[in-house]
Amino acid sequence: MQVTNPELRPSGARSSSGIRTVTVLGATGSVGTSTVDLLKRGNGQYRVEAVTAHKNAVQLAQIARDLKACFAVVADPSAYAELKDALSGSGIEAASGEAAVIEAAERPANWVMAAVSGSVGLKPTLAAAKRGVTVALANKECLVCAGGVFMRAAAAYGATVLPVDSEHNAIFQALTAGPREDVSRIVITASGGPFRTWSREAMRGAKLEQALKHPNWSMGPKITIDSATMFNKVLELVEAHHLFAVEPEKLAVLVHPQSIIHGMVEYRDGSVIAQLGSPDMRIPIAHCLAWPRRIDGPAAKLDLAKIGSLTFEAPDMERFPALALGRRVLETGGAAPTVLNAANEVAVAAFIGGRIGFGGIADLVGATLDAAERRNATAEPQDIDEALAVDHMARSLAHDLLPEIAAKSF
């Protein structure tokens, strides 16, 4: 896979008054509400420009009121009336539709949290990056679906991309310990999810409630299922490849069930620098919010004596076929990760809807990759529209393959 991105670099994200103007895309979600929590504790340090959601109008209106935001947007037009109603008398402007979400990203905030879930987050996140501001990037699909395009655009427009995903935030912090050319390996840790110790046969029959029980993290449903299949680590490998311009051979996954060490960087002299913290997304979000400084964080401070021991295991490619598919897309490069991501989104939605068994998720992703490769449809996307075209093509292939794979998965 080709390395395309620039170094992450500082920008003037804070105005001369010291007040940071922020926008939260995906404010009602898991990362969004953690961000909102930190903003509320900010004691006037932040001015909130815009907040967005999909259709959760009542919660969004409450967030907009609490944060005294200027603009609130629901992507789904059918939720507009409810939003407008819930904001009445507040003086907060309401809008709806995809274009309005992009407008929210384009409004003049100098720090934008990109926490919409899924590839629908691509266009608004890119719109924010094109303003050359700081983008706190939680939406991993931006990098998985169109990583080359996104990082090139961010560099061209002078945006600063700060990684919110806990592993990448950890690696970002550990990378300050030495020059980039002296990095020999980057290690992404994985909790192993709820099925870490299950046999492959038992996993094939896993129920939705079981897959949604993450041992350490509280997250949105899509990423929680991805943690159970370990597709989340695959997305994170691709994310790391683009964010840190690192070759796939230098990227490794290490299972660490306690989720205390979030990422490590090994340097050529053998030194390994790790970042540790409680498994609470408010730690990496606070890091991005204050960067390059630090702020007080509400997350529980780490008590290693109480935790007692940290353990590690090699990832099991046999029981977690997602990991082998991940290696395959990293080696193929181009749009292969885009195809994997789209097929996985279709598969996870089908699993949540009870239309495919747990083991069918990786089967469907593998079959979609085979079909896309047979069509020679994995060339590197040159722009967002090309990436989205591959995304749509892969979704349609996955939908076509779904009945056959689903039938074998129960």
Binding site for ligand NDP (CB under 6 A): 26-32, 53-56, 75, 101, 115-118, 120, 138-141, 165, 217, 219-220, 223, 281
**Amino acid letter, 98:** E
Residue with Cβ nearer Mg ion (23 or 30):
30
Cis before residue 292, ω within 30 degrees of 0? yes
Neighbours of 317 (CB within 10 A): 15
Residue with Cβ nearer ligand NDP (178 or 220):
220
Phi then psi for residue 390, to 5 deg, are -65, -40
| Shortest reach from residue 43's CB to Mg ion, in Å | 29
Give the span between the Cα atoms of 98 and 83, in whole angstroms: 15
**Amino acid letter, 234:** V
- The interface region with Mg ion, picked from 165-173, 207-215, 350-358, 359-367 by CB under 5 A, is 165-173
Pick from 49, 82, 141, 165: which binds Mg ion (CB under 5 A)? 165
Q: Among ligand NDP, Mg ion, none, what does residue 117 contact (CB within 5–8 Å per kind)? A: ligand NDP
Residue with Cβ nearer Mg ion (107 or 282):
282
Token pair, residue 84, equals 């407008």
**Residues whose CB falls within 8 Å of the CB of residue 373, separated by 6 or more in sequence, listed in order:** 332, 336
Q: How far is CA 81 from the centre of its chain?
A: 30
| Shortest reach from residue 26's CB to ligand NDP, in Å | 3
Pairs from 11-18 (Cβ < 8 Å, separation ≥ 24): 11/132, 11/133, 11/134, 11/158, 11/159, 11/160, 12/110, 13/110, 13/111, 13/133, 13/134, 13/160, 13/291, 14/110, 15/110, 18/45
Token pair, residue 335, equals 């749009």
DSSP 182: G
Consecutive H or E run containing 155: helix 141-156
| Shortest reach from residue 160's CB to ligand NDP, in Å | 18
| 332-361 footprint of Mg ion as x/- string (CB under 5 A) | ------------------------------
Q: Among Mg ion, ligand NDP, none, what does residue 287 contact (CB within 5–8 Å per kind)? A: none
Residue with Cβ nearer Mg ion (52 or 189):
189
Residue with Cβ nearer Mg ion (252 or 389):
252
Q: Where are the alpha helices (DSSP H) in 159-313?
A: 166-174, 200-204, 208-211, 221-229, 231-243, 282-290, 304-307
Does residue 239 touch Mg ion according to CB under 5 A?
no
Residue with Cβ nearer ligand NDP (224 or 378):
224
Q: Among ligand NDP, Mg ion, none, what does residue 238 contact (CB within 5–8 Å per kind)? A: none
- The interface region with Mg ion, picked from 48-56, 163-171, 263-271, 342-350 by CB under 5 A, is 163-171
Q: Among Mg ion, ligand NDP, none, what does residue 31 contact (CB within 5–8 Å per kind)? A: ligand NDP
Residue with Cβ nearer Mg ion (119 or 166):
166
| Shortest reach from residue 279's CB to ligand NDP, in Å | 9
Give the span between the Cα atoms of 6 and 180, in whole angstroms: 12
| Shortest reach from residue 164's CB to ligand NDP, in Å | 6
Q: Among Mg ion, ligand NDP, none, what does residue 280 contact (CB within 5–8 Å per kind)? A: none
Beta bridge partners of 23: 50, 112
Phi then psi for residue 177, to 5 deg, are -85, -10
Residue with Cβ nearer ligand NDP (166 or 409):
166
